C-alpha cells in the first residue's frame, strides 16, 4: 500500500540522515532529514481526517478483501441477532457491478475447490479477471465501507500480514494487465497466488476427504442455478455458512426441518378434504427427512425454498 511505502521511505531517509551525520556529510544529511520529515508530516495530516485514517488502514482503494473480512467476522453475530443486515450487505455487493466483480475475483482465489494444477488455475483466473482502476475501486468500495458503518458492524477485526499481502496481490491483478513492463512483478504475484490456491485447495480437500467435497460443489451449483432466484440473501448466506462444518450443518438442518414441519401442521389443522390430504402427505415427506452430510446443503436449501411459500 502507498502509506506503507511512504512510511518505509521516511524511515529509510531518516536512517540515512543519521548515518550521514556520523560521516560528517551534514548538507546531505539535512536534505535527507527534511525529506523524511515531509513524509512524516504528510502522513500525520492524513491521519487527522477520517478519509486519511481509512486510507492508512484499508489502502488507497479501500481494499475489498479487508472490507469483506469485516463482514465475514460479523456474520455469525448478525445471523443470530439481525439477519436483515446480512441481506443489506449482500444486496450492496450484488447490486453494484464493480463490487460483484471484485467478490467473484477474490472468491476465485480465496475459495478454490477441486484444483489439480494451481499454476494453470491462477493463469486462467487472471485471464478471466475484469480490470478496474484504483479510482473505480475506491469509488465503489467506499460504498461498501459506508454500508458496513451504517449497519454498525464491528470494525475491530484483526487481519494478518499474510492476508493483507494476499488481498493486495488480488487487487494488483484487478488493477493491472500483464505486459512486458510489469512481467517481473506479475510473476511474483502469480507465484504467491498459486501458493495460496494450493494451500487453500489442500485444506478444502482434507476437510472433505470423505466425499463431502463433491456434494458441497454440487450444492453451490444448485444454489446458483436452482435457488438463486428463490432464496433471499440471508438464506443463501446461511446455507453457505454451514459448508464444511458438519455439526453446524446438522443443527441448521434439524432447525429448518422442524420449522417447516410446524408451518405444515398449522396448514393441516386449518384445511379440509383433498387439500388436507396433500398437506398430510407433505408432512410425512418432510418428517421422513434425515440428516446426511452428503446432501445437507441441498436439503437445507430445498426446505428453505419450501418455507418461503408460507411467507407469500
pLDDT in tens, 58-115: 888 899 999 999 988 887 777 667 778 888 888 898 889 999 999 989 988 988 888 8
Is residue 201 predicted with pLDDT exceeding 50?
Answer: yes
Q: Where is the domain boundary, 188, 207, 226?
A: 207
Q: Where is the domain boundary, 207, 222, 254?
A: 207
Q: Which of 71, 138, 70, 60 is nearest to 98 (CA)?
A: 138
The larger pLDDT score, comparing residue 8 to residue 106, is at 106
Least confident of 33-42, 63-72, 299-308: 299-308
Is residue 299 predicted with pLDDT exceeding 80?
Answer: no
Q: Is residue 54 part of a domain?
A: no
* Same domain as 223, residue 202: no
Question: Using N-to-C axis directions, what is the helix angle for 161-175 and 183-207, rounded to 10°?
Answer: 120
CB 234 within 8 A of CB 78: no
DSSP characters for 87-144? HHHHHHHHT-HHHHHHHHHHHHHHS--S-S-HHHHHHHHHHHPPP--HHHHHHHHHHH
Residue 188 lies in domain: 64-207
Q: According to the model, what pLDDT value does residue 211 have? A: 36
Q: According to the model, what pLDDT value does residue 217 have? A: 43
Q: What is the pLDDT of residues 70-81, one digit of tens each?
A: 988 887 777 667
Burial class from Cβ neighbours inside 10 Å (0-12, 13-18, 19+) for residue 44 reads exposed
Is residue 271 predicted with pLDDT exceeding 90?
Answer: no
Q: Which of 77, 51, 220, 228 is nearest to 146 (CA)?
A: 51
Q: According to the model, what pLDDT value does residue 96 have? A: 92
* Same domain as 86, residue 163: yes
* Same domain as 36, residue 84: no
Three-state DSSP at 197 gives: helix
| CA distances (Å), origin 164, targets 105, 123, 169, 201, 220 | 16, 21, 9, 19, 27
Is residue 176 predicted with pLDDT exceeding 90?
Answer: yes
The larger pLDDT score, comparing residue 273 to residue 68, is at 68
Number of domain units in the chain: 3
Provide, rounded to the nearest whole percent, the portion of the chain with pLDDT above 90: 28
Burial class from Cβ neighbours inside 10 Å (0-12, 13-18, 19+) for residue 51 reads exposed
* Same domain as 192, residue 109: yes
* Same domain as 279, residue 193: no
* Same domain as 201, residue 77: yes
* Same domain as 73, residue 92: yes
Does this model's pTM top 0.75? My answer is no
The larger pLDDT score, comparing residue 131 to residue 207, is at 131
* Same domain as 82, residue 195: yes
Spatial separation of the C-alpha atoms in residues 282 and 271, rounded to whole Å = 13
Amino acid at each position: 500500500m502507498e502509506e506503507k511505502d511512504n512510511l518505509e521511505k521516511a524511515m529509510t531517509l531518516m536512517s540515512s540522515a543519521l548515518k550521514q551525520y556520523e560521516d560528517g556529510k551534514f548538507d546531505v544529511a539535512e536534505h535527507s532529514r527534511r525529506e523524511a520529515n515531509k513524509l512524516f508530516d504528510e502522513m500525520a495530516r492524513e491521519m487527522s481526517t477520517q478519509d486519511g485514517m481509512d486510507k492508512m488502514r484499508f489502502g488507497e482503494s479501500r481494499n475489498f478483501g479487508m472490507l469483506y473480512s469485516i463482514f465475514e467476522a460479523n456474520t455469525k453475530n448478525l445471523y443470530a441477532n439481525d439477519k436483515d443486515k446480512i441481506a443489506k450487505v449482500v444486496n450492496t455487493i450484488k447490486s453494484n457491478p464493480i463490487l460483484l466483480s471484485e467478490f467473484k475475483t477474490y472468491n476465485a482465489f480465496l475459495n478454490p475447490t477441486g484444483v489439480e494444477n494451481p499454476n494453470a488455475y491462477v493463469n486462467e483466473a487472471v485471464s478471466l479477471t475484469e480490470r478496474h482502476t484504483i479510482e473505480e475501486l475506491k469509488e465503489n468500495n467506499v460504498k461498501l465501507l459506508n454500508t458496513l458503518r451504517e449497519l454498525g458492524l464491528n470494525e475491530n477485526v484483526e487481519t494478518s500480514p499474510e492476508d493483507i499481502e494476499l488481498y493486495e496481490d488480488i487487487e494488483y491483478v484487478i488493477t493491472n494487465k500483464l505486459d512486458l513492463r510489469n512481467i517481473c512483478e506479475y510473476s511474483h504475484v502469480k507465484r504467491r497466488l498459486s501458493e495460496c490456491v494450493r494451500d487453500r485447495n489442500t485444506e478444502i480437500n482434507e476437510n472433505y476427504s470423505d466425499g463431502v467435497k463433491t456434494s458441497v460443489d454440487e450444492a453451490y451449483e444448485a444454489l446458483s442455478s436452482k435457488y438463486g432466484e428463490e432464496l433471499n440473501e440471508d438464506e443463501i448466506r446461511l446455507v453457505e455458512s454451514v459448508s464444511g462444518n458438519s455439526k453446524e450443518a446438522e443443527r441448521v438442518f434439524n432447525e429448518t426441518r422442524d420449522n417447516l414441519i410446524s408451518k405444515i401442521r398449522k396448514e393441516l389443522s386449518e384445511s379440509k378434504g383433498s387439500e388436507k390430504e396433500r398437506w398430510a402427505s407433505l408432512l410425512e415427506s418432510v418428517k421422513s427427512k434425515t440428516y446426511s452430510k452428503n446432501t445437507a446443503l441441498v436439503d437445507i436449501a430445498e426446505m428453505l425454498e419450501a418455507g418461503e411459500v408460507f411467507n407469500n
